[in-house]
Amino acid sequence: MWNPFRPRPPVVALVRLDGVIAARVGPFGGLNAAGVNPILERAFGMKRLAAVFLAINSPGGSPVQSSLIARRIRQLAEEKKVPVIAVAEDAAASGGYWIACAADEIIADPASILGSIGVISSGFGFQEAIGRLGIERRVRTAGTEKSLGDPFRPQSPDQAARLEELLEELHVEFKDWVRSRRLTRLKAAESELFTGRFWIGRRALELGLCDRLGDVQSEAKRRFGDKVRIVPVGVRKRRFPMSLLPGAGAALVDGVLAAAEERAAWGRLGL
């Protein structure tokens, strides 16, 4: 029988952040600010909210989208005055760790992968291949660096140096963010932590990259008692386009490419 005088259990909003972080996500899903922001706003807008938990399972991706998502988390946390707890599942690496640092505390499984505080750029060079096929590449630019990274032209030393400069600047942004959120909790030298290397959860705890070992259920009950109400907040996963639908051919190609990119991102973590 319902008792109007019995205190209601505290509510914890659970936001799942799964997949590669990219400006444009494919049919298999992924994370970007445009898709995540409405979910965050619903989570932080719940009544009797005691905390927001972020269940993170991401190998990383776009630095910009990672930064935008992390910044929005902090804005809402400060506006609503609600604690945020990040829980790393398989991985909170690279951009996934960037987002995790937006939380007030980071929890991890002993076997989770955390870290990868670095920046990567990858691509291919096809200039010899098109030469063997008798293909002539015709590109005209106004601006000496407009065609930076063109895969059909040889990469000059100046272009390589410019790319390294851009990556280093992005790395500085990443490091500054981690320092601003976890400086007093880091237990190892930056020369070890900021190399792009990653660790499993138990070692990450020793290094100060996370605060405790655990999972969503155990951490929520530890903080708010056995009666805590955990409310998942998210969107339904989109189905892969069927072959009979208009435009499905292009969507199929996009989906396959997105899946390949995601597989490569997870592969860098050995997963």
Condensed to tens digits (0 to 9), the pLDDT of residues 226-238 reads: 999 999 998 555 5
The answer to whether residue 207 scores a pLDDT higher than 60 is yes
The two tokens of residue 255 are 């989906």
Q: Domain boundaries in the chain? A: 11-120+175-267
Confidence of residue 132 (pLDDT cuts 50, 70, 90): confident
How does pLDDT run across 174-195, given as a tens digit for each residue?
A: 999 999 999 899 999 999 999 9
Residues in contact with 66: Cβ distance below 8 Å, sequence separation at least 6, in sequence order: 21, 60, 94, 95, 96, 98, 99
80: confidence class by pLDDT, cuts 50, 70, 90: very high
The superfamily (CATH) of domain 11-120+175-267 is 2-enoyl-CoA Hydratase; Chain A, domain 1 (3.90.226.10)
Q: Which helix (H) or strand (E) holds 233?
A: strand 229-233
pLDDT tens digits, 248-257: 454 444 555 5
Read out DSSP for 57-109? Answer: EE--B-HHHHHHHHHHHHHHHHHHT--EEEEEEEEEETHHHHHHTTSSEEEE-
